Amino acid sequence: MLELYFIRHGQSTNNVLWDESIDTHLHHRAIDPELTPIGEEQARLVADFVARPKNGGGNDPQNRAGFGLTHLYCSLMMRAVKTGVVIAEKTGLPLVAWPEIHETGGLFEVEFVDDEPVFIGQPGPGRSYFNQNFPQLILPDDLPESGWYNREKEPRDNYSLRAQSIIDRLLEEHGDTDHRMGLVMHGGIFARILRVIFNVQTENYWFLMNNCAVSRLDISPTGLVHLMYMNKVDHFPDHLIT
């Protein structure tokens, strides 16, 4: 049984702006925001949580006996990389960059023309930046110097298509295994992955995922999908649930 553990990044500076004002956050947002001090603490606590080895066999749908992760991936957005680095240090696992699990929309700057937002895609850091600042991060062989994103803002129509491609790769590379995979990623693309997997038809939906929450999906060799739990934040005190 393949076990997938979706771990959202720690609180970012843009998350704080969104919480303070949904209407004006676009005016002040960072293109690739950093973790806040709260986000850094969340990363440390979720790392302690998922780094617990798996003790014993048998059915453990709530991971009461630990996780025993075998693989660890992260997107190349700073908030995910910095969360993933902390988890990698605690688990001892290699941290593998997977650019395609980035947040919906990608990297973009916002300019305002006649009070209307105009979105301008941004390249993001390239290979040398990551090699210098995150030498423990395993990068794709084809990651260019010109920036890992380096395109226009992702159109909304592509969100579910990319979610499907992520699922396809997971199943192609790990589908018939007992791997336990941690994926440090983002709330928006996680919601689209669930939408694709469960064929959600309504246009108005959302799947809440708090910062550094953990959600678990199991996929059997026959393709049966089990949603074991979603948005687990048992590892946080109340004041760190954001």
Whether 71 and 179 have beta carbons less than 8 Å apart is answered as yes
Residue 231: CB atoms within 10 Å: 16
The mean pLDDT value for 53-57 works out to: 83
Residue 224 falls inside a structural domain: yes
**DSSP, res 116:** E
Residue 53 falls inside a structural domain: yes
Look at residue 23 and give its three-state secondary structure. coil
State how many domains the chain has: 1
Residue 223 falls inside a structural domain: yes
Which comes out higher in pLDDT, residue 112 or 49?
49
Residue 90 falls inside a structural domain: yes
Residue 112 falls inside a structural domain: no
Average pLDDT over the chain, rounded to whole? 94
> Which runs of consecutive H residues, i.e. helices, occur in the chain?
13-20, 25-28, 37-50, 78-91, 127-133, 159-174, 187-197
Residue 132 falls inside a structural domain: no
Residue 165 falls inside a structural domain: yes
pLDDT at residue 147 above 80? yes
**DSSP, res 232:** E
What CATH number does the domain containing 61 carry? Answer: 3.40.50.1240
Interatomic CA distance for residues 17 and 65, integer angstroms: 37
pLDDT at residue 86 above 70? yes
pTM here is: 0.95
Place of tokens 């993933």: 84
Interatomic CA distance for residues 162 and 83, integer angstroms: 22
Give the structural domain span for 41: 2-22+34-105+156-240
Residue 128 falls inside a structural domain: no
The three-point CA angle 236-41-52 to 5° equals 60
